[in-house]
Amino acid sequence: MNTTKALTIVFGIIAAGLAYFLYNSINSTIEEGKRIEKLEARIIEQLKMIREAEIGYEAVNKQYTSDWEKLQAFVDTGTFYITLRKEFIVTLAYGADSTYVEIDTLGSVAVKDSLFKKEKWPRFDLATLPIVPGSEPPVKFDIWADKIDKSGVKVNVIEVVNPKPVDKTRDPESEIPSRRPLRFGSRTNVTTAGNWE
């Protein structure tokens, strides 16, 4: 066998090895991207469920809660009252109008049945509500709720954050909100919007 044939075979083997290495690295990057996308979709779904529970809690208790046990107890045993509001306008003798409101309580419905119907949230599990999906060992979402001053008025605010991002490129200090760890709400603004929206 001459030198040219030997070199051709050696370079052919090296080229095949490099091609396999490149294919494998590109394929593993694609697979990792799909895994991250799937897990983040599940985390977003969990954040939406937490948001539903917190909005319901705030509607009943006039404030959000940063206590997971209180929130879970509210979802498990809490109730919403169904009311009928009627507004009446009466014209007074001197031509002015007077308004009065009657509110009748028609009944109540359990929070769990109202907010977390199986059709809307098939994966809802009250026991794992505070847990970040896919975290090993299990990690709870960071939750913060308080009142802040906005133009002289005390308003309720909440922030729920995934403390352990699946996507390692998510940075809490990022200038781009959508590149920060998945979250909803804010400590400084009155919002319950998620940074994925």
pTM: 0.77
Task: For 25-76, write each residue's pLDDT tens digit.
Answer: 776 677 777 888 898 899 999 999 999 999 999 988 999 999 999 999 999 9
Residue 183, burial from CB neighbour count under 10 angstroms (0-12, 13-18, 19+):
buried
Task: For 132-154, write each residue's pLDDT tens digit.
Answer: 998 889 999 999 999 998 888 89
Task: For 79-112, write each residue's pLDDT tens digit.
Answer: 887 778 888 888 887 878 888 888 887 777 888 8
Q: Which of 166, 149, 161 is nearest to 33 (CA)?
A: 166
Identify the three-state secondary structure at position 87. strand
Task: For 69-79, write each residue's pLDDT tens digit.
Answer: 999 999 998 88
